[in-house]
Amino acid sequence: MRLLVIGGVAAGLSAAARARRIDPSLEIVVLEKGADISYGACGLPYYLEGRVRRAEELIVHTPEYFRKERNIAVRTGARVVSISHPRREVTLDGGERVHYDRLVIATGARPRTKDFEGATLPPHVFTLHTLEDAERLKAYLCDKQPKQAVVVGAGYIGLEAADALRRNGLAVTVVEQGPHVLGRGDAELTKAVRERLERFRVELQLNTRISAVERRELVILATGLRPNVEIAVEGGVEVGRTGAIRVDEHMETNLPGVFAAGDCAEAPHLVTGRPAYIPLGTTANKMGRVAGANAAGRRERFGGVVGTAILNIFGMGVAFSGLSVEHARREGFSPVSARIAAPSRPGYFGGKPITVELVADAATRRLLGGSVWGEDGVEGRINVIATALHNRMRVEDLEQLDLAYAPPFATVWDPVLIAAQQLSKMV
C-alpha cells in the first residue's frame, strides 16, 4: 500500500513521519516541487535579520535523512500537475504518473502578490515565503545595498520583515491599506505597534496603498496568503467558504482516502464553531500528524484552533488568541472587553508593563478572545488565554485560575487575572 504526500514542509512531512511510525510496512513517497524540504519558514525573518547566519540552519532534515532514518522517499523537483482520484494517481510536470492508495495534500499556500498576480515580480520586489525567497532577498541586500525599503502589509510577516530590514540599517516604511495592523481591527493594539515602530524609526502608513512601485529601491509584499488548492479542486476535492480545502475532523476531504493538511486546508475554529483559514506552522504540524495517522489506518481527530499567534516587534511581544471585539461582532456575538496594564513581575524583579485585553460574550459570559503585548511575559499569558478558549471557559472560570506566582516570574495577581476581574464587572 502506498501513501503519497504532496508537499515536503511542515504538514507533508509531519504526515509522512507519523504514518511511518504507525505502519512500518507502508510505502511512503513525498513529492515536493521545490529544491528544499523540511525547513522552518518561521525562522526566515531571523535569517534576513542576520541572527540566523546560514540558510542551512533552518533546514531540519534532508531527503537523505528521511530515506535512511525513516524509510520515506522524498523527491524534490517533483511538481504534481494533476490528481486523478478515479485512477488513484497523480501526474507530474513532465508526464510521469505516480500511483497512490492514500493521498495527503499538503501543498501549503502562496503569497498574494497584488497587482503582480500571476506575473514575474520585478527584480526589486520580493515576497518572504520560502527559503529561496529569503536567499534571493539576502543576495539583493548584499549586492545592491538598498538604503530604503517599503513593506506592503502590516500582518505578522510584514512586521517581522520590517524589523529585520531595519536592523540591517535600512529606512523602512510599512504601508497598510486598512486602518489597523495585524488584521484584528483593534485601535489600541495598532497604537501600541505604531509607537513601537516609531521608536525604532520605522514609519507606519495606514489606509494607504503603495504607489510608484517602480521607483522604490526595495519592496516586500506581505499582503496575505492564498491556499494552493488548484490541483486538488481540479481533481474533485471540495473547498470550503474560506477558499481552502474542506476537511472533516479526521482531515479527510470529500474524496475517501484523500486527506489535506496545513496551509492549504481549513481548520475548525473552536470559538466561532465554523471553519477558518488561519495558516500557521503550529497548526500545519498538528493537522499533518492527524492526516498521516488516519492515512495509515487510524481514526484520530484534529481538535481545532483558536487562532493563537505571537510575534516580536523590536523586543515587544505581541500575541493574540480567539476573537477581537471587531471579529466577535462580525461573528454575531455581543462582545464586551476589558483592557488592563500591569507589571509582568514585581518592579524589584525587573517587571515591565504588560497589556492584557480580554473579550467575552455579554449573553453567555464566555471568553471569546484576548490579546497581550509588552516586553516581558507575553507568551505565558497568551497561552493561558488560549487554553481558556480551548476549554470554552467563562469569565468567572478564568478569574479563579490557580496561576503560578513567585517574584522572579509573575505578580501575585497575574495580569490575566486582573483583566478577568475587570471584565467580570462588565458582563
Nearer to ligand FAD, 387 or 424 (CB): 387
Q: Among 63, 279, 351, 369, which residue sits at the site for ligand FAD (rule: CB under 6 A)?
A: 279
Which amino acid is residue 57, in one-letter code? E
Q: Among 71, 84, 282, 391, which residue sits at the site for ligand FAD (rule: CB under 6 A)?
A: 282
C-beta separation of 167 from 195 below 8 A? no
Smallest distance from ligand FAD to CB 388, Å = 20
Nearer to ligand FAD, 6 or 340 (CB): 6
* Nearest alpha carbon to residue 13 among 59, 57, 66: 66
Q: Among 263, 357, 361, 414, which residue sits at the site for ligand FAD (rule: CB under 6 A)?
A: 263
The DSSP H or E segment spanning 187 is helix 187-199
12 counts as binding ligand FAD under rule CB under 6 A: yes
DSSP one-letter code for 152: E
Q: Among 165, 170, 189, 231, which residue sits at the site for ligand FAD (rule: CB under 6 A)?
A: 231
Smallest distance from ligand FAD to CB 37, Å = 7
Q: Is 355 exposed, middle or buried (0-12, 13-18, 19+ CB in 10 A)?
A: buried
Nearer to ligand FAD, 79 or 329 (CB): 79
Q: Is 88 exposed, middle or buried (0-12, 13-18, 19+ CB in 10 A)?
A: middle
Residues 100-139 that bind ligand FAD (CB under 6 A): 106-109, 128-129
Interacting span for ligand FAD (CB under 6 A) from 26-34, 212-220, 351-359, 404-412? 26-34
Q: What is the 3-state secondary structure (H, E, C) of 256-322?
A: CCEEECHHHECEEECCCCCEECCCCHHHHHHHHHHHHHHHCCCCCCCCCECCCEEEEECCEEEEEEE
Phi, psi of 420 (to 5 degrees): -65, -40
Q: Which residues are catalytic?
A: 42
Answer left, alpha or beta for residue 364, where phi above 0 means left and psi between -120 and 50 means alpha. alpha
Q: Build a one-symbol-per-residue string for 69-98: x at contacts with ligand FAD by CB under 6 A, - elsewhere.
A: ----------xx------------------
Q: Among 280, 328, 342, 388, which residue sits at the site for ligand FAD (rule: CB under 6 A)?
A: 280
Residues in the chain: 427
Binding positions for ligand FAD, rule: CB under 6 A: 6-12, 31-34, 41-42, 44-45, 79-80, 106-109, 128-129, 157, 228, 231, 262-263, 279-282, 284
